[in-house]
A and B are shown apart, each in its own frame.
Chain A
Amino acid sequence: MDSEIIIEIEHIAKIYEMGVEQVFAIRDISLTLRRNEYIAIMGPSGSGKSTLMNIIGCLDTPTFGKYHFNKMAVEEMTDDELAQIRNKEIGFVFQTFNLLPRATALKNVELPLVYGGYSSSAREEIAIKTLEHVGLADRMMHKPNELSGGQRQRVAIARALVTNPSIILADEPTGNLDTKTGEEIMKLFNDLWKQGNTIIIVTHEEDIAKHAHRIIRLRDGLVERDEINTSPIEW
């Protein structure tokens, strides 16, 4: 494993103020993530995995410690700089899909490109290609409520892929799907990984984590174990 380092986290902590009390969501975590890794972050609720995901995804910044994304110091960034990193470098996939209900699949996928400043013709071209890539060429003009759960998650994945980001960050991507559909989505992630994408999946399900090649287990805001999965589920 000597490919390029994308994420370098050094001794970060995240403290929330709950009234007068201070709560450590993350106590002390250090991590290094490289290009084209396939990682699962696991842990029970309260272990700090959501907070870690928000920090990795540049939705939040650590209270202490250093976070470098592609050698850029994230902890020093302004809100707008964080927004730009999220737009260009990170593709989010959420448990609840988080699509805009009034927009078609195509428009949803185009949205990151709108904030990236692409022209409307360029947006459409890229978004169509990406939707074809996730197998939704015939569903582009449908709104989310006209799509099945699996299709919605495919739209969300297409939206995450459309800016060609450095990492894809998925938070319980199969949590709202039945087992069979969940497996299909996991196969899609596997394909994306094979095509060279870097994938981070946050989950509490052992079965899902087994698809990854590296599993990071958190407990009480610390890394409990960080191990290589020697027998990932292959497709």
Chain B
Amino acid sequence: MKFTEFIETIKLAGESMRGNKMRSFLAALGVVIGISFVILTGWIISGLDNALEETINLIGQDMIYIDKWDWTGGKNWKLYEARKDITLKQAEEFCSRMKGAELAVPLVRKWSVTIKAGNDSYDGISALGTRYSYSQTPAASIQEGRFFSIFEDQINTNVIVLGSKVAETLFPEGNVLEKIIIIRGQKFEVIGTVKKQGTMLMDFVDNQVFMPVGAFMDVFGGQMLRSAEVGIKVGNMDNIDEIREEARGIMREIRNLQYYQDDDFSLNETKAFEETVASLRAYVWGIGIGLTMLSFIVGIIGIMNIMFVSVAERTREIGIRKAIGAKKASILMQFIVESAALCFFGAVISFVLCSTVIFLAATFLPKVWEATSFLKPVMPFQFLILGSVVSIIVGILAGLIPAMRAAKLDPVDSLRYE
């Protein structure tokens, strides 16, 4: 078949669709829904991937956190709870013995802290006591001011670095530095703020404050504290396996574990989030693919049906075309192109529909439901291409059998057809 004939075939498909607007739209509806599922699934997945990447960047891929709790969480909660707390003393001993890593710092945390600034107060903050060197980790990336110094650390100065949300809430007008805040009656001077970096998977990080561990113990020491943690920065990723094992060995010694006993602590890495996201992804894909398949099956049946009707209606036209020299391939192509065009038209409708839905959802949904804030208001570009290709393939599949029937029609019989 010549190229000029193919162009005519495409024009013909367009004319045929314009001739039957309502019918074309209804026939393409299954495809519209199918392609919409593909795009929306892809959109949610790309949002999840984005959130995962941000989280990994926030924690740092080369970070290992030793904790009583395991980040993969969930099912073994009771097991983790039964573990003995890691004391600050154990954490500090660990840090002094851990040689292979670039950095090892103890962390102590207190949840649900209230901060006062002037007459305002702000609850639900997570206070973190750590060493000056924690500033070298991504979690403590400074936005404004500075992290506390080795000197402030050693003499337990009451200085504090605020998470972005804490800073915004307490000092909406800005000028955070050198402000004084009060925690449990003690005054702290604000010396810096941390970059806004909360993600779907770690939404609390913007609600943290950092202070020297000594100052932290002065304020909260008398209280029930959460188990301490150790943050380890591996440095060179090639060594992560050795460093993980070195850390495990040191910690087992400190915790007096016998060779037959399991670890009573967890070595947490960003991999844990990858696993969480992977299972979420699988979940979304599963639902998405299931719905997509279902609607494509319905869509193919709809298109196939309408193509059969179209072939029957145009039997005489097929006879005329054959009489004046259309070959089988030309007739076959005419109906396949028409079917593919019908599906592609469905895909275009779905693009318009989805971009509206995506924009509205990403703009307004997070305001009522914060967990959806990972959604982005842009349609993933590669899914436009995927959607177009899939729709055309669906069209070809749906049009194949009706088109073959049309191509096989006998010219004499079809010319006589009324």
| B411 to chain A: closest residue by CB | A59
| A80 to chain B: closest residue by CB | B327
A204 sits at the interface (CB 8 A) = no
B8 sits at the interface (CB 8 A) = yes
> In the complex the two chains form, is B4's CB within 8 Å of A120's CB?
yes
> In the complex the two chains form, is A117's CB within 8 Å of B4's CB?
yes
> In the complex the two chains form, is B15's CB within 8 Å of A102's CB?
yes
> In the complex the two chains form, is B412's CB within 8 Å of A83's CB?
no
A111 sits at the interface (CB 8 A) = yes
> In the complex the two chains form, is B5's CB within 8 Å of A86's CB?
no
| B418 to chain A: closest residue by CB | A96
Interface string of A21-62 (1 = CB under 8 A from B): 000000000000000000000000000000000100101100
Contact of B323 among A92, A116, A117, A163 (CB under 8 A): A92
Whether A92 contacts B324 in the complex (CB less than 8 A), given A100-B317, A102-B19, A120-B7, comes out as yes
Interface string of A88-129 (1 = CB under 8 A from B): 100010100011101000000001101111111000000000
> In the complex the two chains form, is A83's CB within 8 Å of B326's CB?
yes
CB neighbours (8 Å) of A92 from chain B are: 323-324
> In the complex the two chains form, is B320's CB within 8 Å of A80's CB?
no
Interface residues of B in 165-213 (CB under 8 A from A): none
Interface string of B2-29 (1 = CB under 8 A from A): 1011011000000100010000000000
> In the complex the two chains form, is A112's CB within 8 Å of B412's CB?
no
Whether A119 contacts B4 in the complex (CB less than 8 A), given A100-B317, A102-B15, comes out as yes
> In the complex the two chains form, is B325's CB within 8 Å of A79's CB?
no
CB neighbours (8 Å) of B329 from chain A are: 80
> In the complex the two chains form, is A112's CB within 8 Å of B4's CB?
no
| Interface residue total, chain B, C-beta cutoff 8 A | 24
> In the complex the two chains form, is A115's CB within 8 Å of B317's CB?
no
| A55 to chain B: closest residue by CB | B412
> In the complex the two chains form, is A112's CB within 8 Å of B324's CB?
yes
Contact of B5 among A57, A60, A88, A115 (CB under 8 A): A115
Alpha-carbon separation in the docked complex, A70 to B317 (Å): 28
Most buried by A among B19, B325, B326, B330: B325
Interface residues of B in 293-344 (CB under 8 A from A): 316-317, 319-330
Alpha-carbon separation in the docked complex, A102 to B324 (Å): 17
> In the complex the two chains form, is B328's CB within 8 Å of A111's CB?
no
B40 sits at the interface (CB 8 A) = no
Contact of A98 among B4, B5, B320 (CB under 8 A): B320
> In the complex the two chains form, is B4's CB within 8 Å of A115's CB?
no
A211 sits at the interface (CB 8 A) = no
A145 sits at the interface (CB 8 A) = no
> In the complex the two chains form, is A87's CB within 8 Å of B19's CB?
no
| B326 to chain A: closest residue by CB | A115
CB neighbours (8 Å) of A98 from chain B are: 316, 319-320, 323, 415
> In the complex the two chains form, is A79's CB within 8 Å of B324's CB?
no
Q: Can you pick out 16 interface pairs between chain A and chain B where the beta carbons lie within 8 Å of each other? A: A54-B412, A57-B323, A59-B322, A59-B415, A60-B411, A84-B325, A86-B322, A87-B325, A88-B325, A92-B324, A98-B319, A98-B323, A112-B324, A114-B4, A118-B4, A163-B325
A154 sits at the interface (CB 8 A) = no
* A93 CB to nearest B CB, Å: 11
* A88 CB to nearest B CB, Å: 7
> In the complex the two chains form, is B327's CB within 8 Å of A115's CB?
yes
CB neighbours (8 Å) of A88 from chain B are: 325
Interface string of B376-404 (1 = CB under 8 A from A): 00000000000000000000000000000
Alpha-carbon separation in the docked complex, A60 to B5 (Å): 25
A214 sits at the interface (CB 8 A) = no
> In the complex the two chains form, is A100's CB within 8 Å of B4's CB?
no
Contact of A112 among B15, B316, B325 (CB under 8 A): B325
Alpha-carbon separation in the docked complex, A83 to B316 (Å): 16
CB neighbours (8 Å) of B324 from chain A are: 86-87, 92, 111-112, 115, 159
Most buried by B among A87, A98, A114, A116: A114
Interface residues of A in 121-157 (CB under 8 A from B): none
> In the complex the two chains form, is B325's CB within 8 Å of A116's CB?
yes
Q: What 8 pairs across the A-B complex have the smallest Cβ distances? A: A87-B325, A117-B2, A115-B325, A83-B327, A112-B324, A80-B327, A98-B320, A59-B411
CB neighbours (8 Å) of A117 from chain B are: 2, 4-5
| B330 to chain A: closest residue by CB | A115
* B151 CB to nearest A CB, Å: 83
Contact of A94 among B2, B321, B326, B415 (CB under 8 A): B415
* B236 CB to nearest A CB, Å: 66
CB neighbours (8 Å) of B320 from chain A are: 98-100
* A48 CB to nearest B CB, Å: 14
| A123 to chain B: closest residue by CB | B4
> In the complex the two chains form, is B19's CB within 8 Å of A114's CB?
no
Contact of A60 among B7, B8, B319, B412 (CB under 8 A): B412
CB neighbours (8 Å) of A87 from chain B are: 324-326
Alpha-carbon separation in the docked complex, A13 to B387 (Å): 55
CB neighbours (8 Å) of B2 from chain A are: 117
CB neighbours (8 Å) of B322 from chain A are: 59, 83, 86
CB neighbours (8 Å) of A100 from chain B are: 317, 320
Most buried by A among B322, B324, B412: B324
* A124 CB to nearest B CB, Å: 12
Alpha-carbon separation in the docked complex, A111 to B8 (Å): 10
Alpha-carbon separation in the docked complex, A100 to B7 (Å): 18
> In the complex the two chains form, is B328's CB within 8 Å of A80's CB?
yes
> In the complex the two chains form, is A59's CB within 8 Å of B323's CB?
yes
> In the complex the two chains form, is A79's CB within 8 Å of B328's CB?
yes
> In the complex the two chains form, is B325's CB within 8 Å of A83's CB?
yes
* A227 CB to nearest B CB, Å: 29
* B28 CB to nearest A CB, Å: 20
